[in-house]
């Protein structure tokens, strides 16, 4: 604020949260100091001037001072509604800040599109997986090895166990019928998926059906045969001290695994 026809006191306005505003108390203090300073200067200069000049100076001083305090009075009355102006200024500052963010975001997106993502490509989407998940709610395409390695298999029921042993007994019977057995091994008993060959007072042998994968060239071939798991031999002239029973001999069992095709 620069008064008409008077000198301006250099006072730097303090910084405020709302840009471009100064406190009302500072304006009032500025007006009082300016009026007091001009009054002192006028009291020193008037005695040296003529009567007409003194009247002119006093009139000009009164006019300038009146205009200054009228403006201060208008500011004081307007200060009652200054809170609304502060809200408007805060809103303007917020909008300017958002506008700056918007421009900066647009610049960054343009830079990414032209430089950073110039050679970027999206991978092909897995449509079958999305269709399965959205239609059935599950994903049935996972490899079964994940379930086999993480989740233990469910135990078989007694009924399934009995059916499996019955099937093994039938397979053993078929192999025994389809092959010619030595006379010493024609005494046998099939039970629990195993066959027991025995010659009284000589030996006993337990066998079952088994197999493995053999690599023939580039192919894996399943090979099935007999697996001997236990052989018991009768030795004469040996006392059975373990059972405290005296006899002419005792059976010694030898557990091993022999594959016989």
Q: What is the distance between the terminal CA atoms of the chain, rounded to a whole angstrom?
A: 116
pTM: 0.35
Per-residue pLDDT of the chain (261 residues; tens, 9 = 90+): 433 333 333 344 444 444 567 888 888 898 899 999 999 998 888 888 888 988 998 999 999 999 999 998 888 888 887 778 788 888 999 999 999 999 999 999 999 888 888 787 888 888 888 898 899 988 888 887 887 788 887 888 989 888 888 888 888 888 888 878 777 777 888 888 888 877 777 777 777 777 655 555 555 555 566 666 677 776 665 444 444 433 444 445 555 544 455
How far is Cα 98 from Cα 180, in angstroms, rounded to an integer?
96
Please report how many Cα atoms fall inside a 13 Å half-sphere around the Cα of residue 215, on the Cβ side: 2
Collapse the DSSP code of 140 into the 3-class scheme (helix H, G, I; strand E, B; otherwise coil) and give the result: coil
Looking up tokens 């009652």 gives 80
Q: How far is CA 204 from the centre of its chain?
A: 64
The pLDDT value recorded for residue 108 is: 93
Cβ proximity of 221 and 214 under 8 Å: yes
């Amino acid at each position: 604020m620069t008064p008409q026809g008077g000198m301006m006191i250099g006072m730097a306005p303090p910084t405020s949260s709302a840009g471009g505003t100064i406190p009302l108390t500072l304006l009032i203090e500025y007006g009082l100091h300016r009026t007091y300073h001009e009054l002192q200067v006028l009291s020193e200069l008037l005695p040296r001037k003529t009567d007409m000049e003194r009247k002119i100076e006093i009139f000009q001083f009164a006019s300038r001072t009146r205009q200054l305090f009228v403006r201060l009075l208008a500011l004081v009355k307007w200060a009652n509604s200054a809170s609304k102006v502060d809200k408007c200024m805060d809103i303007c500052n917020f909008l300017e800040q958002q506008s700056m963010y918007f421009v900066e975001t647009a610049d960054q997106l343009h830079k990414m599109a032209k430089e950073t993502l110039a050679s970027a490509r999206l991978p092909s989407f897995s449509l079958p997986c999305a269709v399965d998940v959205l239609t059935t709610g599950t994903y049935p395409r996972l490899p079964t090895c994940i379930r086999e390695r993480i989740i233990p298999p469910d135990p078989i029921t007694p009924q399934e166990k009995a059916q499996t042993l019955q099937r093994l007994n039938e397979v053993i019977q078929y192999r025994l019928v389809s092959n010619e057995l030595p006379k010493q091994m024609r005494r046998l008993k099939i039970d629990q998926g195993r066959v027991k060959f025995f010659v009284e007072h000589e030996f006993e042998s337990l066998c079952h059906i088994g197999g493995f994968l053999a690599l023939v060239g580039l192919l894996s071939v399943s090979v099935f045969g007999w697996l001997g798991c236990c052989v018991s031999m009768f030795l004469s002239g040996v006392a059975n001290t373990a059972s405290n029973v005296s006899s002419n001999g005792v059976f010694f069992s030898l557990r091993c695994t022999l594959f016989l095709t």
